[in-house]
Structure formats: structure tokens, C-alpha cells
Structure 1
């Protein structure tokens, strides 16, 4: 079965970012694909050391749990990341993870090439577009396919559950999930 892996960068237990990714995952599943969400909440993701050992050992030399996520990405057809915006940009943990995932892909079998996906940003007021742009660079430099939606993949909310009030934002995310699933099915046909 075709699958999309979604990664949540929020450190909060009751996270708006997780709630938004769950909406996206529901849409993907309604299109007949499997969706799995992984949280970085209890992980301490280190930055890439640029040691290039991944080219020889076919995984990252840093043992902090990211290699297990990399294997899941390798086996998936799609990859979506969601980050809260606390200080105007994506959380450091997701950017560290993306840089290492990209390095392993580029140094080994280029497993990210032609995967479908994209970024999602969740914030109280601002920083959404900067966060999306920052994460989007990962998708483009790794030869991935990023479908559009009805607006930018952003949802407004601060307090737990507040994202439910941003119906336009949630509809944008649902449409994005639908477009990811539809594109994967077309590519695989």
C-alpha cells in the first residue's frame, strides 16, 4: 500500500501542529493511502556534522533515533513535515532532522527524489511564510514534488485546540493532503 509519512516537530503534548497533521493524515487515508505520523517531541535531534560517513555506512552515524525515521521515509511514497512557529522560523529540531535526512539521501541512493510532500506551519500570528520557505528548500534541493493547495500550508492557533477556529487554514491543509495523495496515485499508476 502507498504510504505518506508525516513528522511533527512540536515539543508540546497537546499540540496544534499534531492536530493539523492529523487532519492532513485523515484526508490522505480517505484517498486510500496509509498515513503515519511521527513526533519528534521526546527526541533530541543533533545537527548534521557533515562528516559524510553516511556515504559509507548508508545511514547517519549519529545515533539519536533519526535513522529509524529515515528508514520509514525511504519506504514511503510521500513525506510531510509540520512545524510550530515560536520565534519566526521553523523549530531547530525539524531543520536539524531535515538537513541530516537530506544528507543521507544525497550520499546514498537519493531516496527522496520524486517523493511527494511538503511543509506545514502552525503559528499564533506570524512567521508562517518564513517557516514554509525555510522548510520548502529541503524539498526542492532533494528533487521532491510539492503540490499546491488553495493557499499556503499554514494554520493559525496558539492555545491547544485553537487551530479548529481557522477553518480556511484547515481546509487548505485538507486540500494539500488530498493533492499529495492524488499525485502519489497518479505517479504510481
Structure 2
């Protein structure tokens, strides 16, 4: 069965970002695919050192748990990341992870190519569009397929539970999930 892997960059257990990703995952599962969410909370993901060792090792030489995540991405057909936005950008641990994931893919077998997915950004008031643009760079340079939706994949909410009350934002995320699932099914 085809799988979509999610990375949740929120440091808060069951916070707004996790709830939004859970709703997106449910929509994807409703289309017959499986999902798995990996939480960066509690992990210490180091930044890429651009050492190039991954070209020889076919994995990152840094041993902080990211190689296990990379293997799960290799096995998936879809890859979606979600991040809270605190200061107008994605969380640093997510960017560190994505840079290393991209470096390993580019220097090995290009495993990210043709994966379907995209980013989701959640914030109280602003910074989501800049964050989406920042994260799209990862998807585009890695030859990935990014489906659209009815708006950008942004949701508003600060206190726990507020994001899922953003009706327009959640409708956008639901449509995005449908589009991810339908594209994976059509490609397969």
C-alpha cells in the first residue's frame, strides 16, 4: 500500500500543527493510502556540514536519528512537512533536517524525485506565506511534485485547538490532502 510520510516540526505535543497534519493525514487515509507522522520534538537534528560523505556512505554520516527518517522517506510515495511559524520562517530543526535529506538524495539515488507532497505552515497571525515559499524551495530543487489547493497551505491559530477552527485554512488543507492522495494514486 502506498504511504505518505509527514514530519511535524512542532515542539508541542498535540499542538495546532500536529492537529492540522492529523486532519490532512485522515483525508489521505480516506483515499486508501497509509500515513505515518514523525515528530521532531525531542530530537536534536544537527545542521548539514556539506562534507559530501553521504555520496560514499549513501546516508548521512551524522548519527542523530535522521538516517532512520530518510529510510522512511525512501519507502514513501508522498512527503509532507508541517511547521509552526514563530518568527516568519520555518523552525530551524525542520530546515536542518530538510537540508540534510536533500543533500543525501542529491548525492545518492535521487530518492526524492517524483515524491508528491508539500509544506503546511501554521501561525497566529503572519509569516506563513514566507515560510511556504522557503519550504517550497526544498520541494522544487529535489524534483518533487507539489499539488495545489484552494489557497496556500496556511492555517491560523495560536492557542491549542484554534487552528482547526480556521474553516478556510482547514478546507485548504483537506483539498491539499485529497490532491496529494489522488496524484499518488494516478502516478501508481
TM-score, structure 2 normalization? 0.99
The aligned length equals 188
Deviation at 1:165, TM superposition (A): 1.6
Q: Match for residue 7 of structure 1?
A: 7
Q: How does 1:16-165 map to 2 (within 5 A)?
A: 16-165=16-165
Q: Match for residue 171 of structure 1?
A: 171
Any idea what the Cα deviations from partners look like across 1:80-129, whole Å, max 9, x if unmatched?
Answer: 00000001110001000000000000000000000000000000000000
1:177 is paired with a residue of what secondary structure? Answer: helix
Partners of 2:3 and 2:165 in 1: how far apart? 29
Deviation at 1:14, TM superposition (A): 3.0
Partners of 1:93 and 1:59 in 2: how far apart? 18
Partners of 1:38 and 1:70 in 2: how far apart? 11
Partners of 1:14 and 1:32 in 2: how far apart? 24
Partners of 1:31 and 1:14 in 2: how far apart? 24
How much is the aligned-residue C-alpha RMSD, in angstroms? 0.5
TM-score, structure 1 normalization? 0.99
Structure 2 residue runs without a partner (length 5+): none
Structure 1 residue runs without a partner (length 5+): none
2:175 equivalent to 1:187: no
Deviation at 1:51, TM superposition (A): 0.3
